[in-house]
Amino acid sequence: MNKIFAIGDIHGCLDKLLSLMGKLPIKPADDTLLFIGDYIDRGSDGPAVVDYVLDLKEKFSSVICLCGNHENMLLHYLEGLDEELYVQNGGLATLKAYGISTSDSLKKRKAKIPARHLRFFESLRFYYETDDYVFVHAGLRPGVPLVAQSTQDLLWLRQEFVESDHDFGKRVIFGHTPKKEPLITPYKIGIDTGAVYGGKLSCLELPELKFYSV
């Protein structure tokens, strides 16, 4: 049976990602590598993380990349939308890494981001579903069918999802809400362990429910 290795929020922590990947018993030709979103912001190596993930996509037969709220905020910022929100949520680290000034025009902002990075951000999925699991960055709103979930909730939802005892029909694997240790309940598993806040970067191996952390 092929395995899924789901990695939590990276937030520009390239060193931790490299160390974590070195621990995984993953088979590039057989297993699926899944990223839960938030590759950038807060940490200083966001663009380098994107480069590394793009390289992995060329080496692995199956790499699933979900969109986090931070990638979504960056895309909005590049269009001149919600600029203060992005800057206040750790976006300056990414702008600095790309050489973008907050005074740059919209055209200049986009020009400073490599074309393949833009294509990557624009291609990110909002969720991924298998026979047994739903993978999403932030969470699902209880009582709402998966296909009817709003982008806002998929990328930003916290307590209403995390504290819910709702059975979504499949176990939900999510990030976004950092915990010191993975959150494990019958209906959901949270894999954001606060890498950028001095915590660990974690990976969940499925279906074994085995964790790897650095």
Asked whether residue 105 carries a pLDDT value surpassing 70, the answer given is yes
pLDDT band at 1 (very low <50, low <70, confident <90, very high): low
Return the pLDDT at 153: 98
Could you read off the pLDDT of 168-208 as tens digits, one per residue? 999 999 999 999 999 999 999 999 999 999 999 999 999 99
- Torsion, Cα of 205, 179, 142, 11 (10° steps): -70
Question: By C-alpha distance, which of 24, 43, 44, 19 is closest to 34?
Answer: 24
Preceding omega of 207 cis (within 30 degrees of 0): yes
State if pTM tops 0.75: yes
The CA-CA-CA angle for residues 24, 51, 208, to 5°, reads: 20
Distance CA 183, CA 177 (A): 10
Model confidence at 27, pLDDT cuts 50, 70, 90, reads very high
Mean pLDDT of the 11-31 span: 98
Domain count, the chain: 1
Q: What end-to-end distance do the CA atoms of the chain give, in Å? A: 26
Domain hosting 202: range is 4-213
- Segment 112-148, tens digit of pLDDT: 999 999 999 999 999 999 999 999 999 999 999 999 9
Q: Are strands 4-7 and 202-206 parallel, antiparallel or unpaired?
A: antiparallel
**Residue 45 identity:** D
CATH number of the domain within which 47 lies: 3.60.21.10
pLDDT confidence of residue 18: 98
φ, ψ of residue 74 in degrees (nearest 5) = -65, -45
Q: Percent of the chain beyond pLDDT 90?
A: 100
Instruction: Give me 194's structure tokens.
Output: 């606060």
What rounded mean pLDDT belongs to the chain?
97
Residue 171 near residue 190 (C-beta atoms within 8 A): no
Q: Is the pLDDT of residue 79 over 80?
A: yes
Pair 74, 86: CB distance under 8 Å: yes
Distance, in Å, from the CA atom of 162 to the CA atom of 202, rounded to the nearest integer, reads 18
Of 143, 149, 204, give the one whose Cα is nearest residue 169. Answer: 143
Structure confidence at residue 69 as a pLDDT band (50, 70, 90):
very high
Band of residue 14 on the pLDDT scale cut at 50, 70, 90: very high
